[in-house]
Amino acid sequence: MSEHDTKTDTLGEPTRRDFLYLAAGMAGAVGAVSAVWPFIDQMRPDQSTLALASIEVDISSLEPGMSLTAKWRGKPIFIRNRTEKEIAEANAAKLDELKDPVARNANLPLDAAATDVARSAGKGKENWIVMIGSCTHLGCVPLGTSGEYGGWFCPCHGSVYDTAGRIRKGPAPMNLAIPTFAFTSDKVIKIG
């Protein structure tokens, strides 16, 4: 056995050199993570963004036929207290005639049909509709109580939505999306 042989070669036990390699590798790994961490950390949302994760909207002043627009996560949210006539018009629509038969309601299963109740706040609150106010064609903001069906109309490209926010005509491929929301009281809706 020569002088340059290590114990690892002959006995299978670690040597001081093996320890130094391991320690240097670990120091390098810690250094690499320390150098990369600021870049990873800056990708997390800041506190102002997290604060907007949910909002509460006071709807006590909305009489039937009135709407308001709130801002949530940088998007307009349409909240409307629909009239009996608007609800009846939405119920009269035949589901097989709808361009998009899916409810697009984050509060329901993904495959829920686009019935008026599935697009509204639910049984007993069919008069309330809460939707993200971005046209599903190119993200424009539609005008309320407009268009052929009395719902929303996007003047940019001609998409027409009914009183339940379902696409009826134009280039938009989907119904207006409904975010997660809940009534915290008869006068307040929590979105998000």
* Residue ranges of domains in the chain: 7-41, 50-191
* Tens-place pLDDT, residues 91-133: 999 999 899 999 999 999 999 999 999 999 888 899 999 999 9
Q: Is the pLDDT of residue 47 over 80?
A: no
Beta partners for residue 70, in sequence order: 77
Look at domain 50-191 and name its CATH class.
Answer: mainly beta
User: Which residues are the active-site residues?
Assistant: 157
Confidence category of residue 12, pLDDT binned at 50, 70, 90: confident
Look over the chain and give the mean of its residue pLDDT values, rounded to a whole number: 87
pLDDT higher at 80 or 74: 80
pLDDT grade for 50, boundaries at 50, 70 and 90: low
Looking only at the bridges linking them, the beta strands covering 167-169 and 143-144 are unpaired
When pLDDT is averaged across residues 168-179 and rounded to a whole number, the result is 93
pTM of the model: 0.71
